[in-house]
Structures are given as C-alpha cells and as structure tokens.
Structure 1
C-alpha cells in the first residue's frame, strides 16, 4: 500500500491527549499503520520535539521501527517554494515558507498519502495530494 506521511499535528494530538483530536488522531494513525508504512521527515520530527526536553523521550514516542524517517526530497523544496509563492499571491502574510508547505510537497513529490487534520490547507496548494483527514 502507498506509504503515509504523518503530519506533526496528529502526533502532537496523541502525545498531549488533546481533548478534541486525540481519539481521531490515534485511531487514524493505528489504521494507517496497519495498511501502510508510516513516514516522518526532519520537519515533522522538529515540530513534535518542541514538547520534549530530552531526545530520549522523543525517540520513545517516534520509534524508528514504526516511523520510517526520510530526508526531504530536493524536488519537494522546489515545489514548496512554488506553493509558498502561490500563498503569498493569494494574500498570505508569512514571510518565509512554512513547514506545512514542505510537508505537503514531500507527500506530493513521493506520491504518499498525508495523514493530517488540516487537509484544507494542503489540498489548496497540492491538489493532487491524497489525504487522510477528518470528514
């Protein structure tokens, strides 16, 4: 089955027991992991790391035998720049590319599905992206 890139918000929901999203995120992650290889990249790892004071705690949360780690593909950097340019032209106010543009571009370039609860933002800038998100 097609690999699934797991967005940081899903992992943070689970790690923090978010009252609104933890259940959906945990169930969706478990289901995706049954059917496909789960993937994270350095940006996702960095976003999740913010809540942890020690790398050992983060490593325990994101074991390599469960979450395959991939570098960001160079074509994803190009695509994220183009998505960021489209964002700015639509009136976006951020001055530098957000991690979300890189995460969406990584999934799009590799042809991965993206497990996220923020699907709207990704489909706006990466319309071919196949996402797993709340209805």
Structure 2
C-alpha cells in the first residue's frame, strides 16, 4: 500500500510543531509500517525551504524511506480541473495549484494521502483515501 505524504506532515515533524508534531510522526510511522511512503517534486520543493543545503534535505528525506516519484501528466490535467472548479466556486487564492497537484497525484495513482489539511482534498478529490486527524485544520 502506497501513501503520498503531504508537505504539512513533514514540516510538522521537521519544525517540531507543538500542536501537530506528535500526530504527524505517529501517522507517518503507521503509513510506513503499512507500505511505501511517496513524495513528489512539489512536496520536495515545499519542504526544501526549511533546509540550507540539498544534502541536508536529502538526509531528512532519504530515498531509502521515501519513494521519489515524478508527477504523472494525468495528475496535471486533474489538478488543473480541480483548481478551475475551486476558482469558479469563489476560491480566492491565486496559487494553491500545488495542493491540487498533490491531491491529483494521489488520486490518479490510487495512493492514500497522509495530510492534516483534509477539507480541500475531500471536496475536490472525493475518491481519495485520506489519513487525516479528526477536526484537523482546513486549507483556506
């Protein structure tokens, strides 16, 4: 079983977030025990802002623990459609496409998605299996 790991879960752990680090670490460990952990270039890029050197980032996200996958073109199409729907429904953010791409990647590959920001994923990718905390924060 493969699980795509959302950026927020990794950043919770790397920043030792006082509210979410424990939940994120436990959920990541459980997903690892259940199968393969997957990241993509978007997650890698978003996490990189916390690291000064690529070597430090690669140590934090070792290829032996995280399967690094390219983004499928079909995920790009689905992400664009989901983003367009978001904008039509009044979504104000001009650049949340990365979140849609992460959800679309998980959806087209039939991966579970480990995230603590589940509301947008539930709305725009209803077939996704989400691993998320109950009552977790929502993405704006």
Q: Aligned with 1:5: secondary structure?
A: strand
TM-score w.r.t. structure 2 length? 0.93
Q: Aligned with 2:38: secondary structure?
A: strand
Q: Aligned with 1:20: secondary structure?
A: coil
Superposition deviation, residue 113 in structure 1: 0.1
Q: How does 1:52-131 map to 2 (within 5 A)?
A: 52-131=51-130
Superposition deviation, residue 93 in structure 1: 1.6
**Number of residue-to-residue matches in the alignment:** 134
Unaligned runs of 5+ in 1: none
Which residue number corresponds to residue 20 of structure 1? 19
CA distance in 2, matches of 1:85, 1:67: 30
Superposition deviation, residue 115 in structure 1: 0.2
Superposition deviation, residue 121 in structure 1: 1.1
Q: Aligned with 2:47: secondary structure?
A: helix
Q: Retained in 1: the 8 A contact 2:80–2:97?
A: no
Q: Aligned with 2:4: secondary structure?
A: strand
Which aligned runs of 4 or more in structure 1 are off by greater than 3 angstroms? none
Q: Retained in 2: the 8 A contact 1:80–1:97?
A: no
Unaligned runs of 5+ in 2: 135-140
Which residue number corresponds to residue 137 of structure 2? none
TM-score w.r.t. structure 1 length? 0.97
